[in-house]
Amino acid sequence: MNDLSFLNDLGAVVAADRAHVWHHLSQHKPYETTNPRVIVEGRGLRVWDATGREFLDAVSGGVWTVNVGYGRESIANAVRDQLVKLNFFAGAMGTVPGAVFAQMLIDKMPGMGRVYYSNSGSEANEKAYKMVRQISHRRHGGKKWKILYRERDYHGTTIATLASGGQPERAAQYGPFPDGFVTVPHCLEYRAQWSDADYGRRAADAIEEVILREGPDTVGAIVLEPITAGGGVIVPPEGYWPRVQEICRKYDILLHIDEVVCGLGRTGTWFGYQHYDIQPDIVTMAKGVASGYAAISCTVTTEAVFDMFKDDASDPLGYFRDISTFGGCTAGPAAAIENMRIIEEEGLLENVRLMGARLGDNLAALKEKHAMVGDVRGKGLFWGVELVQDRASRDPVPEGVARAVVAAALDRGVMIGVTNRSLPGFNNTLCLSPALIATADDIDTITDAIDGALTEVGAQAN
């Protein structure tokens, strides 16, 4: 039997982590001389590391996930009760929490009809791509197989989701990739690619140009984040979304919205797309669905999409021949039911709107104060702060500066994020996504720490 007594010895735990854990998204060379940070406990927006240091987590578990905050006993209890009753059943049969959460979700998503369960955002997107490909075979005689995606957007780490990722450094060295994924231009007005006054419409027209270049009969779907997250917190400009919907309808192209970050209240509505009066055909979600209390993701479709898979019961290929074993874990939907109940009962959507406005105002004030802040953008509790060398040229700060700001904020006890490291011009946006329960004090603590960090790093740069 293993001796687990070292569990109570945090020094030994950190040593085990350093010796044996391969951390996500990490260069491990520094761990030859320093210890990785091991997070031990969380309550509300606060977490504690193995040395006992407290931090205010302004990124919801590092990757915009813990929407309802840490230490929620009611979620833990709901999961426990469900696991004792029935932990798992997969395949063609249902489970009680799976059915209940599907009903709750569809109630929040007018126009949508079906929920397909899996475990991660990448997986949910893969399922959606497979649906599009099968629709191509079933409905379009093998045409309409291409899936469009946008520069700077991110949809996951599997080979197909990397093939549809707009952040090339994520995909570098992992090819070759499957065919049929085609990029369209990003819509970040601060880094405008056109001089049009109606920028939103112009950026959406660029999608139509790609469709016409590729041939409308080759394009089956487009996948888009409602607000791009890791690619720079890009809120699409006015006029963008209605035009995207119009283009999709004109060319019979399925609109797939990736709500992995924006879903479940992050921007002040249940889903990010609901700010824009559009009707998607497919919506994927993960992270905030159960706030990290259990693994769950969903690929949600309209009834019209679902119907394309059931028209011929005698056809051996006439259904979605896909399974996710752990899509049958009941912990996920049990946690998701309680997570959604909390968001509703605690009025968190309203809190996001109020606290999001405060965060936006505080960040606007930081822009007035610090020349390094070129642009501030966001919605609800989801904000980005783009750092530049010089406001006139908008040249991004050199590699390392944004990371220095993140480190200086951490020294002040606040965890903030930054966009991906190695893509020139893309690595300079600070990311903020505190839990939806953030108070005015929390918001001010976050922006005070950024203020101090910008002053410190700015002074070093001069």
Residues of this chain that interact with ligand PLP (CB under 6 A) are 63, 120-122, 125, 154-157, 225, 229-230, 258, 260-261, 286
**Smallest separation (angstroms) from ligand PLP to the CB of 61:** 11
- Residue closer to ligand PLP, measured from CB, 105 or 408: 105
Nearest approach, Cβ of residue 207 and ligand PLP (Å): 18
Identify the CA nearest to 332 among candidates 146, 168, 115, 152: 115
Q: Which residues contact 110 (CB under 8 A, 6 or more apart)?
A: none
Decide whether 120 or 274 has the Cβ nearer to ligand PLP.
120
Residue among 286 and 373 whose Cβ is closer to ligand PLP: 286
CB of 295 to ligand PLP, least distance (A): 8
Based on CB atoms, which residue is closest to ligand PLP, 208 or 225?
225
For the sheet with 39-43, list strands across it.
39-43, 46-49, 54-57, 414-415
Tokens 């946690």, residue? Answer: 335
Which residue, 154 or 240, is less far from ligand PLP as judged by CB?
154
Contacts from 445-448 at CB under 8 Å and sequence distance 24+? 445/56, 445/414, 446/56, 446/58, 446/359, 446/362, 446/414, 446/416, 447/359, 447/362, 447/363, 447/365, 447/366, 448/412
What is d(CA 372, CA 387) in angstroms, rounded to the nearest whole number? 5
* Nearest-approach distance from CB 170 to ligand PLP, in angstroms: 10
Give the CB-nearest residue to ligand PLP. Answer: 121
Please, are residues 433 and 60 in contact by the beta-carbon 8 Å criterion? yes
User: How is 77-92 classified by DSSP, letter by letter?
Assistant: HHHHHHHHH--B--SS
For the bound state, the minimum distance from the C-beta of residue 371 to ligand PLP, rounded and expressed in Å, comes to: 30
101/251 with CB nearer ligand PLP: 101
Closest separation in Å from C-beta 293 to ligand PLP:
14
- Which of 67, 222, 101, 210 shows the shortest CA–CA distance to 155? 222
How many CA atoms lie less than 13 Å away from 127 in the CB half-sphere?
Answer: 29
54 CB-near residues (< 8 Å, 6+ apart): 46, 47, 48, 413
Nearest approach in angstroms of CB 199 to ligand PLP is 23
Cβ-based nearer residue to ligand PLP, 229 or 449: 229
Residue 381 CB, shortest distance to ligand PLP, in Å, is: 15
Cβ proximity to ligand PLP: between 82 and 120 the closer is 120
The residues that bridge with 377 in the sheet, in sequence order, are 384
CA–CA separation, 281 vs 113, rounded Å?
Answer: 10
| Least distance from ligand PLP to the Cβ atom of residue 161, Å | 7
Torsion of CA 196, 197, 199, 201, to 10 degrees: -90
Nearer to ligand PLP, 57 or 451 (CB): 57
According to DSSP, the β-strands at 114-118 and 297-301 are antiparallel
Give Cβ neighbours of residue 85 (< 8 Å, ≥ 6 apart).
Answer: none
For residues 224 and 256, the answer to whether their CB atoms sit within 8 Å is yes
In whole angstroms, how far apart are CA 354 and each of 359, 365, 437, 440? Answer: 9, 17, 11, 9
Q: Shortest gap between Cβ of 299 and ligand PLP (angstroms)? A: 12
Strands of 219-224's sheet in order across? 114-118, 297-301, 282-285, 254-258, 219-224, 146-150, 181-184
CB of 375 to ligand PLP, least distance (A): 20
Pick between residue 258 and residue 375 the one whose CB is nearest to ligand PLP.
258
Closer of 285 and 406 to ligand PLP (Cβ): 285
Q: How far is the CB of 434 from ligand PLP (least distance, A)?
A: 17
Query: Taking phi first (over 0 means left), then psi (-120 to 50 degrees means alpha), and beta for anything else, what does residue 394 get?
Result: left
Residues ≥6 apart with Cβ < 8 Å to 72:
291, 293, 338, 342
- Which is closer to ligand PLP, CB of 289 or CB of 454? 289
- Tokens 């590391």, residue located: 49
